[in-house]
Each structure stands twice: as structure tokens, then as C-alpha cells.
Structure 1
Amino acid sequence: MAVETLWSNKLRTGLTMLGVIIGIASVIAITSVGQGVQRGVEQQIQALGTDVIQVLAGTARGGNVRQGLGSSSTLTWEDAKAIATQAPSAEVVSAYLQRNTQVVYGQQNTSTTVFGTDLNYPEARNTFPQQGRFFTQEELDNATQVAIIGPTVERTLFGQNANVIGERIRIQGEPYEVIGVMEAKGSQGPNDRDDQVFIPLTSMSRRIVGNNALTGISVNGILIKSGSPEKLEAAQFQVTNLLRLRHNIYPPQPDDFRLTNQADIVSTFTNIVGLFTVMIVAIAGISLVVGGIGIANIMLVSVVERTREIGIRKAVGATNSAILNQFLAEAIVISTLGGVIGMGSGILIAFGAATVFKFPFVISVLSIIAGFGLSLGVGLLAGVIPARNASKLDPITALRSD
């Protein structure tokens, strides 16, 4: 009877369900997108290694403007060599120097990040050439002008399916021979890790940056691979104390460097995404409240419109509980059907977002159960008062109404 009544008023039923559909779809879609983005970033960071520590140089000041970490010359290549030999928990150590600059090939040019690195960088960052090779120790010692480019730089300068090995590009006016193309790593947040060029650290220092440290080659950062996440804490302790000794830093002087690790980044990002997801889901929950109020309003109006019908039913023997169950059933059918449509819509929206923005498609069983439970709860709560009012109508008074 409840289904027949709702079917005979399709427009009203559809509009009543709309609030529940929007609310449930929002909860499912937002939860899925949040978990998908979180999973995608975790995978990208873990692909770089969860046992990696990054040491960044301090911040430089120009006038009253404080620049970013790594902008001063407080770290040197010699610091990296000292860590490699004197920190037992540091299994792989790689120093790097980076600059954003123009790279040119023929009539094509692109603004990209150029890294001057040593031989250990591929292992420290878990990224290796997919074509060609990395530079050798001899090329590093001689500051040879060779380059390994990322897939994005390859596409921008050479187009698709081009044989780039042996070609020459110009970095800040200097010619470099392309000897390799790095494997694709995708984006990490706003940063495209494929939009990079790698050259020997010695060549970077001499020809592009210039030596700017009294004790050797200045670097922006040092990557340290401990071999396992369990050794991270010991490696951090050893590296911190070693650098303090080398830089003559004693308490209460502040460090002129900063240590971060991938595990901390994963944890921080997970917490941030989790908070945003909770906040947005809470906002989406307001749609469910609005949907519940809409159901209650429509059911109250329905009681008034169907007063004579209720009177006839009671006159032919319908009990108060039968009337209560009928109107309660209508509210639950509306909310449940709206919840099912909302869940389907939410899953489609989440799948579309994952496909377009290229992050993992994740649907939590808990969110499906919660969405279905919420829709049932909304229908039950929204239908109680109208159903109770209908069941308490006096049949004589009901029959007399227009």
C-alpha cells in the first residue's frame, strides 16, 4: 500500500527523495575521493622509500624576506661524504643541488627543475633510467656535460616516441648530451616528479650555480637511506649530532639544517586529508538533515491531504497501529530508495573523479553500510511524528473533513 501510494504521486515522491539522494551521494563520494587521494599520495611517497631521511639546508634572508628551506649554503658535499663514512645507520647517502631554469632543444624550451647529483641519487630516490644510463664516476669527477631527463621534459622538448639518446640540449646556455631518460614517477601533489633533469653535481656547481661555500661544493640537501624504517630514528640521531659537530653548533644555538623523513610526511598528509574528509562529510551530513526535514514536511502535508482516507480506513476497522505502520512504511520506503539511488550516484561520482584525476578508486564498505543506515534512520525519524499524528485522528472528525 505504501509503494502504491508513493507511485501514484511520483513527482512529490521524487522531490522528497532528492534531499536524501544528495546527502548520501555526497557522503559516499567525498569519503571515497578522500581515501583515494590519501592512498594515491601514500603510494607515491612510499615509492620513494619510507626509510629515506632528507637533510635540508637552512633558510637564507634577502633584506626582510625569508626564503625557503635549502636556500642558504649551510650544507656541502663534504657533509654528505662525512655522513656516508661516519654514520653507521646511513646505508646510502646522496647530495643534490637544484635550480629552476630553462632547458632548450632547437626551437622548443621548457622551464624545469635541474638537479645536480652524485652517483647514489637513483638508489636513494628509488628512481632509475628507463632508457639509456645514469652518468659514471669519471663523468662526475670531470664535470662532464651529460644529462638524464624526465619523461615530461622528453615529451615537451622532443615529442612522443622520439629517440632522444645522444641529442643535445642547452641548460642555461650550456650544451649537454642526453644519455638517459628516467622512469615515470607521476606527480606528488602539485609537483611533477617527471619534469626534472639530472646532471653531475660537479657540472651543476661549476657551470650553472658556481661554488658558493668556503669549505667545498654547496648543496641544497642530502638524501639518506637507512635501509629499513626501523633504523630511521638511529640514523636521524647520528646525522644530527654529526652535522652539529661539523658546523660547530652547540646548545642553545639553533641548527642551520632541518631533517625530515618520508614516514613523517605520510603521517602528516594522512592526518590532514582525514581532517578535511571528516569536515566535508559533516557538511554533507547537513544535506541528510535537510532531506529528513523534507520527508517530515511532505508526510505531514500528506496526513492533512489524506485525512478523509484515514477516516474511511478507521471506519472499516483499521487500528491505530495499522495507520501508524502505513505512514511509517511510506517514510522508510522514500528514504531507503533515496539512499540506494544516492549510494549508486556517489559510487559513480567517485569512480569518475578517480578516472579523471588519476588516483586510486577506493570504496569503503563501512561508508556503504553507514550510508544505508543513515537513510533508514532518516526515514524512521522523519516518519514517526506524521505517522503518529495520522494514527491518532478521530475517525468521525476525519470523515467530516473536506
Structure 2
Amino acid sequence: MSYWLYFTNALRIIYRHRLRSFLTILGIMIGVTAVVTVIGVGAGSQHQILERVESLGADLLFIEPDAMENGGVQLEGRSSTLTVKDITAIRNLVPNIQAVSPSVYAEARVLFGSKNWISRIQGTTRDYLSLRKWDLAQGRMFTEQEEVRAKKVAVLGHSVVKALFGKQTPIGQTIRIGKTPFKVIGVLKRKGQAPGGMDQDDRVLVPLSTAKLRIIGLSKTRPGSIHYAHLRIDDKTKINESIYQIQDVLRRQHQLPDHQPDDFIINDLTEIQESMTEATRSLTFWLASVAAISLVVGGISIMNVMLVAVRERTEEIGLRRAVGATHKDIRNQFIIEATCLTTIGGLSGLILGSLLVITVANIRGFPVMITPSALILALGSAAVVGIISGLYPALLASRLDPIRALKRE
């Protein structure tokens, strides 16, 4: 018999037992749908998470003072060991530093008319936006002259604008931070949540000198001190080298003896990015493995159906053997029937799974990540399950004695 004849016979038998075939196909279709959906949604979520981490800057370093200690006991709050002079020394002595931006911050109430909002007030420099890869939606960033003269100007995040102004245009309006009036000169583009869950749009940027003088006050922090600083490296491959050099400069600036630990912390996003990539990859793998169990269940149902078919078609098998069909013919017929069932279920699952991935991607706002490899993997797995599931019934049918098979009926 030719393989085309095997195939047409398989389709005819599947059509003859439509209901039973449909229920068998349904099990495979659900399994393939689950695998495609999990892999597609997992890849899209991973891309979205990595995109958010990348938006923070994979080549960005974050320096902050270490926690204060007294007699080996860690105290609450941060010490004021980091200063503008430290950041200037890093800029001058460490190569590969593209830009730096020292910052201070405080939580304060922001008011406009009858509306008020408690937000994060961040005093920083005009380089902060380029460091964080952040763009303006409206207006402008404060100038170097406004930083030097401690001008009362502010750039608002999207969440602050929404809370205070609604649909009004904030540019040129005057808000109050505490009791101090500030002129709104710019609005930041929406950034969304950080990987840690913090709302990046809930902030007000003001010049560093203005924040220290008008909001935090020199009485609460010694002159020149800052809360943290961002630094951008011009070469991602030299991040570890730059961290070592920054550490050396800061230890010399703070005159720390060799036996004393650092009184500052240097963080980079490389480890965070690698950890998140590994976590999402592992989660997708295990979810896909769980989804693949439904393929095994579908394979068991196919084996059960094929065993029933062997019993039902015993006379047919005996008659075929009697007129010259070989063991191979009978075996191939049953294997191809099982493969056709899984192939139909697999193709249906690919279509349904792809539609589900597209739907979830549109709802969650991440790109559709349906790769050919994922589709081939799902369909190939279904085909393998079909061949394995049909192999035992096919061997059982091919080994039937034709005389006994005819007598049995």
C-alpha cells in the first residue's frame, strides 16, 4: 500500500467516527493551545520586563551612602558621607564616565488651587534626563543658570500632572511645594512602573540647589551632601572595571583605612537584568512543562481510542491479512491514523493558541512573541505524542492472527 492510501483510509475512518475523533482531537488541541499560549505570553512578559529594566539603563550605576553604624549596630537612615565633591572627583579621575547626576529627595505635599498631592521631590541636575533616557512630553528642562541661581522651577511627572491638573495645561502654571511657589516649565513623558513596582511618574524634578535650600534645607543635611548619584558608563563591557575605580576614588575621598568597610554602596542593573531574565525564562519553562502534561493526557486518550479501534476492527484486520496485507501495512495504517488525529489537533491548537497570545498581548500591552520555533516545538511534540500513542495499538493490530481474527467476529 502507498502512504497516500494509508492517509486517505485514515481520514475516512476519522470521518466515520466523527464524535469520537472530535473528542480525541480536542484533548490534543487543548494541550497544544496551552503550550503555545504559555510560551508566547512568557516570551512577551520577559520582553516587557527586560524593556523596563533597559529603560532604567543597563550601563547605569547608582551610588548611595551605606547605613550608619554605631558600635557595630546599624542605625536607621543613611549617613551623609556622599557629597558633590565625591561625584566631581569620580568624574575627573575615573575614565569611561559619560555623565553624572547627583540628587537629593524628599516626600512633600504639592498643591495647585484646591488640589494637593504627596509626591517625591527630587533635586537633581539637568543631566538627569539623559542619564535615565527620559524624554519631555512638554516644555523644557531647567538650565544650568537656573541650577546655579537656585531658581524655583519644576518639571512634573505624568502622575503628578494627572492628579493636580487633569486635562489642563500645566506649563506656565504655579504650584506650591510645601509653602514655596514653583513655576512649572516641563512635563516628563510617561515612564510607567519600575521593576520594583514604584511609580516612576510620581515625581517632581527641581534644581539640586533649589531642593537643598528651599525644600530639604541646609539645617537637615550638611552643605555639599547628597542622597545618591547616577553615573552612566560609555562602555557596558567596562562596568566592573569602572565600579572598582569608583570604589578606589571614594575610599580615598573619605580617607577610609584598609580595614574599614566602604561607607557607600555602588549598584548596577546588570545583575538585576540577568536575574529577571533567568527568573522569567525558568518560569516560562516550568509553566510550559505543566502545559505539556495535557499533551500526555491527550496521548493517553489517543492510545485508548486506538485500542478500542483494534477491537472493533478485528474482522477488518483479519480480512486484510487474508487478502495479502502485511504486518507492515496494518501497523502503518494505525500509526498514520493516530498521527492524523494529533496533527489535526495540533494545527487547531496552534491557531487557537496564537489567537490567545495575540489577545493577551493586546490586553497587557506587550509585543506578540510567537516564534516559529515555538510553533514547530508544539506541533512536533503533538506529532511525537501521536506516533508513540499509536505505536502499541498498531503493533497489537499487526500481530493479530488472521484466522483467529476472522473467527472472533
TM superposition score normalised by structure 2: 0.87
**Structure 2 counterpart of 1:259, from 266, 270, 274:** 266
Q: Is the 8 A contact 1:169 1:176 kept in 2?
A: yes
In the aligned structure 2, how far is the partner of 1:366 from the partner of 1:212?
Answer: 62
Which residue number in structure 2 is paired with residue 29 of structure 1? 37
The amino acid across from 1:33 in the alignment is V
Which residue number in structure 1 is paired with residue 247 of structure 2? 240
* Displacement of 1:102: 4.3
Q: What does residue range 96-115 of structure 1 map to in structure 2 within 5 Å?
A: 96-115=103-122
1:75 is paired with a residue of what secondary structure?
Answer: coil
**Structure 2 counterpart of 1:385, from 381, 392, 407:** 392
**Structure 1 counterpart of 2:17, from 5, 9, 21:** 9
Deviations 1:350-402 (A, max 9, x none): 22222111112222222122122111111100100011112222333333446
Deviations 1:304-333 (A, max 9, x none): 233333334334443322221221111101
* Displacement of 1:294: 1.9
Q: What does residue range 70-85 of structure 1 map to in structure 2 within 5 Å?
A: 71-85=78-92
The amino acid across from 1:2 in the alignment is A
How many residues are matched?
398
**CA 1:33–1:90 in structure 2 vs 1: closer, same or farther (change >3 Å)?**
same
The amino acid across from 1:130 in the alignment is A
In the alignment, structure 1 residue 219 sits paired with structure 2 residue 226: yes
2:385 is paired with a residue of what secondary structure?
Answer: helix
Which residue number in structure 2 is paired with residue 365 of structure 1? 372
Which residue number in structure 2 is paired with residue 58 of structure 1? 66
Deviations 1:103-156 (A, max 9, x none): 333344444433221222122222232321112233323433321012333233
The amino acid across from 2:42 in the alignment is G
In the aligned structure 2, how far is the partner of 1:208 from the partner of 1:133?
Answer: 22
**CA 1:66–1:304 in structure 2 vs 1: closer, same or farther (change >3 Å)?**
farther
Which residue number in structure 2 is paired with residue 132 of structure 1? 139
In the aligned structure 1, how far is the partner of 2:231 from the partner of 2:289?
Answer: 41
* Displacement of 1:301: 2.2
* Displacement of 1:158: 2.0
**Structure 2 counterpart of 1:42, from 50, 67, 70:** 50
Q: Is the 8 A contact 1:132 1:179 kept in 2?
A: yes
Q: Relative to structure 2, which stretch is displaced further, 1-10 or 17-26?
A: 17-26
**Structure 2 counterpart of 1:322, from 317, 325, 329:** 329
In the aligned structure 1, how far is the partner of 2:79 from the partner of 2:18?
Answer: 69
2:97 is paired with a residue of what secondary structure?
Answer: coil
In the alignment, structure 1 residue 309 sits paired with structure 2 residue 309: no
In the alignment, structure 1 residue 169 sits paired with structure 2 residue 175: yes
In the aligned structure 1, how far is the partner of 2:78 from the partner of 2:40?
Answer: 38
Q: Relative to structure 2, which stretch is displaced further, 207-216 or 299-308?
A: 207-216
The amino acid across from 2:216 in the alignment is V
The gaps in structure 2 that reach 5 residues or longer are 1-8
Which residue number in structure 2 is paired with residue 122 of structure 1? 129
TM superposition score normalised by structure 1: 0.88
Which residue number in structure 2 is paired with residue 339 of structure 1? 346
* Displacement of 1:205: 2.9
Q: Is the 8 A contact 1:212 1:218 kept in 2?
A: no
